[in-house]
Structure 1
């Protein structure tokens, strides 16, 4: 008998967070629970037991619900980097384990924070990347305790994955990000199409192939993207990393 497919569902929380849940055969994982209540409601409605929690980084809107979930499911395992005090198991670059019979792989993807992680779930349907605040549809995270150079390298690493890879960002920022993308590439028809589609939520997950068509932070080698970034910064930019840094600064002020 074929294995039951994963169910991957966004639980809306706080103002614009998605707490992704992954479930199979009655067992569930949640990623970055900023609050416990919405997750507990979802688990109860669907008769699920919480087996694992995966934390991408230490910000409170990604960790605030851990204690409440552990009160109800004390046996669930919390995975996180060394800066996650509530973690039961260390998750860092190259760490792997099985959930639901499928491989989970951890990448260190710094930039938004220095210790930011991504969780890659490999199953028969393809590759699912829970990317926290590193990648958003048509955008990327702000730089807090990481660097723009780190964030650029992390996004370039994502860009090397197969085009059908699905990304599961932790925030619904798509419409706002596309307004910025339209300023960077006003002649990009894919951005225009995506802006119309972004009126319907949730806009996530998104494929890498889609992001490579619309996301200026993944399109730093494009002529118009580089030109617009140089215009903003007031001078010639040496390479993709410099274009990326200029775009990130522009988006901070947009």
Structure 2
């Protein structure tokens, strides 16, 4: 029995629950690099018809009550922005349930106070900086997946030669598609001659530094995948039936190849 609920509006509307979920699929958990819809973080969606248009109410849930407040706020804020951008939506209410900072986060969202306006002196950095940090990690993981697949397919390829592999040599598929999207998000080149193994600023590695760069990238990818697996399990333990809302993904598959990323820049109100 899933927690996802929909209260149908009294009159026909242009938007259905599936449209809302589709919009929410663009919202990523910044640390796990997966859509909140795939992770099962969307607890309920209510669609209500009003005089000025639709009112959409969404409740979110997280694996623990002590998940990082800045991650929690980012996901809730992105959810509100993603739904507000839909045609016909007049009002959006997004609330985070069962978190130790739920009251603070929900009040900040309701007032459109922004991250720093919500957390004030506790906000050490803005959401733009936070988002950028995790975009870099997501690129590193996507890059490692592509290069590791290439090494496994060609056992005779020296690891040191990986540093000279262009995008043209990466076979088409979901991992390459994900890498191209991650590169676009960072402003990195995506033409066929572009070197795959680069840092977030597009700098290549010296031949002798390639093995260590690949190992560090692998460590980042393993950490992301491991945390995602752990959090999925915690959510299922905390909320009975939530597994029905979690999308399964193939072993080793890039978690978010089918979803559009939200822009890096978001609104902030500094108070």
Q: TM-score, normalised by structure 1?
A: 0.28
Q: Larger % of helix: which?
A: 2
Structure showing greater relative contact order (alpha-carbon pairs closer than 8 Å, 6 or more residues apart): 2
Q: Larger % of strand: which?
A: 1
Q: TM-score, normalised by structure 2?
A: 0.27
